[in-house]
Every structure is written in structure tokens, then in C-alpha cells.
Amino acid sequence: MNYFIEVIVPLSLPKTFTYKVSENEFAYIKKGMRIAVPFGKNKIYTALAIDLHQDAPTLYEAKEIHQILDEKPIVNEFQINHWFWIASYYMCNIGDVYRGALPSALLLESETIISQNKETFVDETAFTDDEFLIYEALQNQSSLNVQNIIDILNKKTVLPVIQKLINKNIISLQEEIQEEYKPKLVKYIRLNEQYQKEENLIHLLDSLKSEKRKNVLLQYFQLNAGEKKPISVKQLTESAQTSAAIVKALVDKQIFDEYFIQEDRVNFDKNKIENDLVLSQAQQQAFDEIETSFSTKEVCLLHGITSSGKTEIYTKLIENYISEGKQVLYLLPEIALTTQLVARLTQHFGNKVSVFHSKYSNNERVEVWNNVNQNSDSAQIVIGARSALFLPFSNLGLIIVDEEHEQTFKQQDPAPRYHARDAAIVLANAHQAKVLLGSATPSIETYYNANSEKFGLVSLTERFGKVQMPEIELVDLKDSYFRKKMKGHFSLTLIEEITEAFANNEQVILFQNRRGFSPVLECMTCGHVPQCPQCDVSLTYHKYKNQLRCHYCGYSMAKPTNCHVCSSVDLETKGFGTEQIELELAELFPQRNIKRMDQDTTRGKYSFEKIIDSFKNREIDVLVGTQMLAKGLDFDNVSLVGIMNADNMLYHPNFRAFERSFQMMTQVAGRSGRAEKRGKVIIQTYNPLHNIIQQVTNNDYEGMYKEQLYERKIYYYPPFYRLIKLTLKHRDFDKLKEGSMWLYQVLQQNLTIPVLGPEEPAIGRIRNEYIRTIMIKMPGDASIQGTKKTIQKILNSFDLVSQYRTIKVTVNVDFY
């Protein structure tokens, strides 16, 4: 008798592979276990068993496996089915999905390099002999690869030992950098309540003997009189030129009270559970409606305006599923948002909450994976960005997709290019679980699905605590420039409002949808604009580093002193970005603390959180930023939001540009006036009468939706048509041109639906590769699977044309 297993290998290959196993192995192996297999020349990969059978492959001789890595399956059938669905729907290889789904520490292969995790306490006595040998070797060498370990242990089957050491956190994969960020708690002080009474205070001042302490107290009054802001210990020690010990002494004497602004963080205690979450009447009604909707529909959209308290509704709902012993997955568009959310959910659910995302170390991810796989208590609720969708859930009850309109839910590169919201709906279906989509500005497609009764729809139109929506004021830039009512890029209206916010000790957010100082440097004599040598884009001027940089490939050069074409020294910067706003603002308000938040300032692992934290702690007066600011952040002291230029969002060559502009402006505006006071938003624009600007101003989502839907219908866009984008790349311009024409023509001849292109995109060359795109539009009534099969066949034959074989083609389904 012959025994075989069918495996997925973690390589970009469309097929599964057959390996030979012994009768014993056959009896032992279960679907979902990892099996190390030889593949290609002398390489070992971690494959996944997905089937056991007795059919020898017809096209090749089955090899024997290398070894079995697991004692129990670490992947279940829900996942395997879901991964095949992803591969088929998004037209990618099953190997791509597998590789993207598993934390890399579970995918050991012959090239894997490991090193010791210095942070972990090591108990040498608990090691097995093999473990000890590896550990010992790592004392002499900073890293080892799998081959080294094979030599050290003098045997071939080493991966299980390595895996055990990873599970124990003793070693990590080399490529990761360990970094940790704990939100810092800024200590503030205020006068103890008893000294609010003047007589007590006078008495206190008389009784204080130490001059140092008296001085600190007087300094406190001075600070308190000037700015009605919370006073931090740091601030006080600096201005009184004293030490923290003196302040501490005053705290001990109960003259000052210490406190922290981030109350939720202070209470961040995993074992303390607060249960007093009470929904407002409007929230309760929305909650009831969601439940009703779930009795007949699988998916429900919660359309709740900014600050309506959607998170609280999610929390109540989660409670229900948890109490039935179900697992809950909570997807967020941006991992930077998890810190806030984890604090909130942990307060409520204690240690039932786990977090999973790509910035977590490999070992942490393996831990969460295992916890979910064992359906353990600590992973009943998993919060994560899109990749959390791949975890081994066996008992999902509910998936929440918060800020469902966010484009970050779509993975662009590499494959699998899946949309986490859509893939979540499919996954939930398999588990017979429910999906709640939440947004203040739903995507057109989702709202369409809700309106056509495919999804349930629940609206929440009131902010929590009946806070008013911010007042939006438009400033006509054309008019303001004409009347000289501008300073740099700031209208006098905006300057006035900022001044007023400062006078009230409130914070300000300024939004500019572009990073860098100013997009381009232009020669005033000949008009030349320096371009990236590797991409077809103008270089961006960064004043801080005095550089020109390419935002596509990272190329940079020092700012030239004269024009490379005509040698003129008359060079000027055109346009403006976040960096310039920051500089102009610093000139207008030199006393104020201004910070910028964009891709340039948030590159480090936790830099985003750090900026958000110090803004929340009120150490920053103004935050200047790009669209990162639009993502569901909750600030309680922002009374003004300024949108510096609404127009550059509107004119993007993308069918979603208007929808996105509406979403972005509405979301940024929503950061204003969260607390007791009505917030203000100033939008500076050249087109105050533009429909989108008007819809934002009037908070008219319906109006925006109807208008956009009409456009989508007449121009063949989603939700009426589904789009597939093919991107072709090659260094040889002519070859690419020819190849893309060939492909276009074959598609055109074989499909009865619109095929557009081949088009040179707005940026026609990146990193020295030329780019062409072809777009296929599938009407709602077409057989999607059939069409995709035809496309795949054509792509396969394109690959066989020898002169085009080197052209890279990527397929992006629902690329928007």
C-alpha cells in the first residue's frame, strides 16, 4: 500500500503537492499539521497537510517528507477552506495565502536564522539535551541558521526543537527587532481640595517653613494663573527650578494631589473589571435594532456619526457572544488604534482580550495563534488589523469591522491582495457568525448593500452625551488671497480661531493631505522641475533635511543651488505640505508646542502612539497631520480642526476621489468638540460651492451617497461593476508596450465585458520599471468565477509567450 499526503508549500505556487509517507506517519498525520518537506534543490520548507490519500501523483515521483512538526493540528478546516476561497476570489496562489497567513515563526525553513532572546530569563536545568546544545552555541555565536543546528545536534530533524525554544521565548527569528512601548503616564498635580478655601491657604503659606517648598507653591500659583491647563510635575519642577523630591514631599503632606489625565490607562489593570457600562437611550435603541437585524441577516451596518459611541455598542454586543462561549474578532483599520481600544475593552472584559498584529514580535504572534487554536479564555476576543482574519478560530460568533470604509482593509502588496472586510463576511458565513460593520462614513458599496437589504442597516444620529456636531465654516481661498486676508497658507479667519482656542486652553488639529515641505522645486527661469531618476515623479522638497526626495522609491538628493537644466539660481518651491504648515505655524505662534504627524514622523515602531499620547496628555497644542488624523481617534480637548486645503483631495484621478474626500473631511472634522463644548471646523478651499464640500458642511451623507451612486452607475463602477486591475511591469519600455497590447487584445477577444487599457498610469515608472495597467469591468450579473477562470487561462498563456515571460503581471481583484 502507498500512503500520500497533500500539502501547501509556502511559496508562490498555484498547486498543492503530494508527498509520500509511511503507514505509521499516515495514521499519525492529521489535516492542519505542519510537515517539513524537501522542495527544489536541498531546501526544506514548512508545508501544511491538507489531505491524506492513496493516489500517487501522475506528473512526478512523490518525495518523502522530512519530518512531522506538530503533535496536533495548528490550522483548522475553516481556515483551509477560507484560504482556498481567498486564492480563488483574489486570483492568487494558495501558497501566497498560506505564507501570508502564518506568523513567520511557524514557517521555519532551511534559511531561517535564529538568535537568543536576551530578555527572557533562562532556566538551564529545564532544558533537554538538544535544547541545551543550541542554547550553549548561542552563547558563543550571536546567531545560527538551521544548517548550523543540524550540524550541532548531528541529526536532520531539528525544527521541532527550534520550535519549542521559540514557544518558550528563549530564541527569536533574527529579522525582528525587539522594541516595546508602554504609554507613558504623565504625572500632574493640583492643589488639594482643602486649600481651595482661602483661609486654609493663607494658613498653609504661613505655616510652611521650608523656603524651597514655599517657592514651589508660589510657582504653582503663577502657572495656574497664567494657563488654565493641567500642570505637570515636570513643568513645575522646571519653572520652580527644583527637584521632583520637593514636589513629592508636598504631595506626601497632602498639599498637592497627584493625578493622571488618561484615566483609562491608570485603571489599566487586567484583573479589575468594570461592569457599569450603561448605554444611552439612542445607543440602546441602536443596539436593539442590531439584534433584531441579526435575527434575519448575517451582516449589519451600524451607521453612527462620529462620537456617537459605537465602541460602547460593540462592547455590549461582544458581551452577549462571550457569554455564549463564542469567539469574537474585532478588526481595526490601523494598528496604531489598538492601544486605545485594548485599554477600553480590557477594562470591561479583563484578560479575555488578545491583540494580534504585524508589529507584534513573532513570538507574541505565535502565542496568540496558539491561544486562539486552543480556544483558550485569554483569546475569546481578538483585536487586530486585517491579518487577524487568518487566526485559527474554531467557534466564531461575531466579527466587528470598525471604520469599515477604510482603504487599509485592502491589502495591496504582496499577494494575497484581499479585502479584510469582504473576506471577513465570507469567513463569518462559514462559522454561521454575524458581522457588524461600523462607520460614520460607510463606503458606497456597503451602504448600497444595506439599502438593497442585503445587509441590515442601523443608524445612530446623535452624539454620545448629546454633544453637538461641530460647526463648519468655509473660507474661500480665492477671495482671501485677493483681499490679502492670508498669512502664508493661513487665512485670517483660521488664525483668529486658533488664537481663540489657545485662549481657552484648547487644542487644535490642522489637516493637510500631503507630507513634506512642498511638493516641488521649480526653476523660475526655464520651468524645470527636478524628477526622480528612477520614477516618473517630481521630487518632493523637504526643508528640514534640505533635500529632494522621491516618495515612491526613497531616492534623495541635496537641494540643488541652481537649475540642472539652465543653471539659473532662481528656484522656488511650489505647493505646500505638512512641514511647511508646521513652520508657518511656528512663526505665527512661537510660544506654542507644535507637532507633525505624517509618514515621515511616524516611521519608528511606536512613534504614532507616542505622538498621540503626548497630544492626549496635552503636551502638544497643535497637531499638524495627514490622513492619519482621520482614523477614529478620540480626543477630549480639541475644539478646532482646520482643513488647510480641501481641493487637493478632490482632484485625484480615481473614481473614489469624491467619496474619499467626503469621508476624510467628515472624519477629521469629527475630532473636534468631543467634550461638553461644540467644536469648530474651518475648511479652506478654492471651491466652496463644490458639492462634496457642501455635503461635508451640511453633514449630508445621503446626498453624497445618491450623487456618487448615480455616477458609479453611468460610468460602470462598483457597486454595479466589479473591477480587476492587471499591472504589467518591465524595464524595457518597448517590450512592455508590446506585451501589454498583446494581453489586452487577447482579453478583449475572449471576454464579452469591458476591457480598458493598456494605460500608462499617472506614475508610469517606479524604480526604473515601466508600468502599464489593464482594467476589466465585470457587471453584477456576469459569472464572476467563469470570467476569472478565463482571465487566468489567458494569463497562463501570456506566460508561455517567450518574449513576454519576463514581464511581471500582478492581478488585483477589487483593487479599490
Indicate which of ligand ADP, Zn ion, none lies near residue 304 (CB less than 5 to 8 Å, by partner kind). Answer: ligand ADP
For 772-794, b where at least 16 C-beta lie within 10 A, e where not — what string? bbbbbbbeeeeeeeebbeebeeb
Which residue's C-beta sits nearest to ligand ADP? 309
The minimum distance between CB 33 and ligand ADP, in angstroms, equals: 41
105, 396, 550, 583: which one binds Zn ion (CB under 5 A) = 550
Interaction between residue 315 and ligand ADP (CB under 6 A): no
The minimum distance between CB 328 and ligand ADP, in angstroms, equals: 17
Sketch the per residue contact string, 280 through 299, with ligand ADP: x for CB under 6 A, - otherwise.
x--x----------------
The minimum distance between CB 600 and Zn ion, in angstroms, equals: 16
- Return the half-sphere exposure (C-beta side, CA atoms, 13 A cut-off) of residue 371: 21
CB atoms within 10 A of CB 113: 13
430, 553, 794, 795: which one binds Zn ion (CB under 5 A) = 553
HEC letters along 667-715: HHHCCCCCCCCCCEEEEEECCCCCHHHHHHHCCCHHHHHHHHHHHHHHC
Distance of CA 528 to the CA centre of its chain: 37
Interaction between residue 679 and ligand ADP (CB under 6 A): no
Interaction between residue 532 and Zn ion (CB under 5 A): yes
Give me the sign of the Cα torsion angle 452, 453, 455, 457. positive
Indicate which of Zn ion, ligand ADP, none lies near residue 524 (CB less than 5 to 8 Å, by partner kind). Answer: none
Interaction between residue 439 and ligand ADP (CB under 6 A): no
Q: Which is nearer to ligand ADP, 108 or 300 (CB)?
A: 300
For residue 682, which of 461, 481, 477 has the smallest C-alpha distance?
A: 477
The minimum distance between CB 413 and Zn ion, in angstroms, equals: 16
Q: Which three cell numbers stand for residue 461?
A: 444620529
Sketch the per residue contact string, 321 through 340, with Zn ion: x for CB under 5 A, - otherwise.
--------------------
- DSSP designation for 409: G
* Secondary structure (DSSP) of 104-136: GGGS--TT-EEEE-TTS---GGG--HHHHHHHH
Interaction between residue 525 and Zn ion (CB under 5 A): yes
Indicate which of ligand ADP, Zn ion, none lies near residue 747 (CB less than 5 to 8 Å, by partner kind). Answer: none
Q: Which is nearer to Zn ion, 509 or 563 (CB)?
A: 563
Question: 757 and 744 in contact (C-beta within 8 Å)?
Answer: yes
Q: Which is nearer to Zn ion, 535 or 668 (CB)?
A: 535
For residue 26, which of 61, 62, 58, 59 has the smallest C-alpha distance?
A: 62
Q: Which is nearer to ligand ADP, 311 or 601 (CB)?
A: 311
Single out the segment in contact with ligand ADP by CB under 6 A; choices: 200-208, 277-285, 549-557, 724-732: 277-285
* Secondary structure (DSSP) of 243-310: -HHHHHHHHHTTSEEEEES-HHHHT--TT---------HHHHHHHHHHHHHHHH-SEEEEEE-TTS-H
Q: Which is nearer to ligand ADP, 668 or 724 (CB)?
A: 668
Interaction between residue 565 and Zn ion (CB under 5 A): yes
Interaction between residue 308 and ligand ADP (CB under 6 A): yes
Indicate which of Zn ion, ligand ADP, none lies near residue 528 (CB less than 5 to 8 Å, by partner kind). Answer: Zn ion
Instruction: Compute the distance between CA of residue 514 and CA of residue 625 in angstroms, rounded to an integer.
Output: 8
Q: Which is nearer to ligand ADP, 130 or 403 (CB)?
A: 403
Q: Which three cell numbers stand for residue 451?
A: 439599502
Distance of CA 596 to the CA centre of its chain: 19
Interaction between residue 185 and Zn ion (CB under 5 A): no
Indicate which of ligand ADP, Zn ion, none lies near residue 308 (CB less than 5 to 8 Å, by partner kind). Answer: ligand ADP
Q: Which is nearer to Zn ion, 52 or 553 (CB)?
A: 553
Q: Which is nearer to ligand ADP, 219 or 306 (CB)?
A: 306
Strand ranges, E, within 588-654: 594-597, 622-625, 638-643
Interaction between residue 528 and Zn ion (CB under 5 A): yes
629-668 binders of ligand ADP (CB under 6 A): 632, 634
Residue with C-alpha cell 462559514? 430
Interaction between residue 464 and ligand ADP (CB under 6 A): yes
Please name the amino acid found at residue 45: Y
Peptide bond into 10 cis (omega under 30): no
Indicate which of ligand ADP, Zn ion, none lies near residue 523 (CB less than 5 to 8 Å, by partner kind). Answer: Zn ion
Instruction: Compute the distance between CA of residue 738 and CA of residue 733 in angstroms, rounded to an integer.
Output: 9
CB atoms within 10 A of CB 449: 20
Q: Which is nearer to ligand ADP, 307 or 507 (CB)?
A: 307
Indicate which of ligand ADP, Zn ion, none lies near residue 534 (CB less than 5 to 8 Å, by partner kind). Answer: Zn ion
Please name the amino acid found at residue 707: E
Residue with C-alpha cell 448629546? 466
The minimum distance between CB 767 and Zn ion, in angstroms, equals: 7
Please name the amino acid found at residue 754: P
Please name the amino acid found at residue 66: H
The minimum distance between CB 312 and ligand ADP, in angstroms, equals: 4
82, 303, 310, 551: which one binds ligand ADP (CB under 6 A) = 310
- Return the half-sphere exposure (C-beta side, CA atoms, 13 A cut-off) of residue 350: 8
Indicate which of ligand ADP, Zn ion, none lies near residue 283 (CB less than 5 to 8 Å, by partner kind). Answer: ligand ADP
Residue with C-alpha cell 486652553? 505
503: Cβ contacts below 8 Å, ≥ 6 apart: none
- DSSP designation for 533: S
Instruction: Compute the distance between CA of residue 206 and CA of residue 214 in angstroms, rounded to an integer.
Output: 9
192, 285, 375, 534: which one binds Zn ion (CB under 5 A) = 534
Single out the segment in contact with ligand ADP by CB under 6 A; choices: 85-93, 134-142, 287-295, 304-312: 304-312
Interaction between residue 497 and ligand ADP (CB under 6 A): no
Helix (H) or strand (E) holding 802, with range, is: none
Q: Which is nearer to ligand ADP, 277 or 762 (CB)?
A: 277
Distances, alpha carbon 280 to alpha carbons 310, 371, 456, 461, 515, in Å: 11, 35, 21, 13, 40
Indicate which of ligand ADP, Zn ion, none lies near residue 530 (CB less than 5 to 8 Å, by partner kind). Answer: none
* Secondary structure (DSSP) of 438-474: EESS--HHHHHHHHTTSSEEEEE-S-GGGPPPPEEEE
Indicate which of ligand ADP, Zn ion, none lies near residue 552 (CB less than 5 to 8 Å, by partner kind). Answer: Zn ion
Helix axis angle for 94-101 and 77-89, nearest 10°, is 130
- What is the size of the binding site for Zn ion (CB under 5 A)? 15
Q: Which is nearer to Zn ion, 266 or 565 (CB)?
A: 565
The minimum distance between CB 602 and ligand ADP, in angstroms, equals: 21
Q: Which is nearer to Zn ion, 542 or 788 (CB)?
A: 542
Please name the amino acid found at residue 569: V
Interaction between residue 340 and ligand ADP (CB under 6 A): no
Q: Which is nearer to ligand ADP, 35 or 282 (CB)?
A: 282
Q: Which is nearer to ligand ADP, 384 or 673 (CB)?
A: 673
16, 46, 311, 373: which one binds ligand ADP (CB under 6 A) = 311
The minimum distance between CB 531 and Zn ion, in angstroms, equals: 9
- What is the size of the binding site for ligand ADP (CB under 6 A)? 15
Interaction between residue 307 and ligand ADP (CB under 6 A): yes
The minimum distance between CB 494 and ligand ADP, in angstroms, equals: 25
Q: Which is nearer to Zn ion, 200 or 568 (CB)?
A: 568
Binding site for ligand ADP (CB under 6 A): 278-280, 283, 304, 306-312, 464, 632, 634
Binding site for Zn ion (CB under 5 A): 523, 525-526, 528, 532, 534-535, 550, 552-553, 555, 563, 565-566, 568
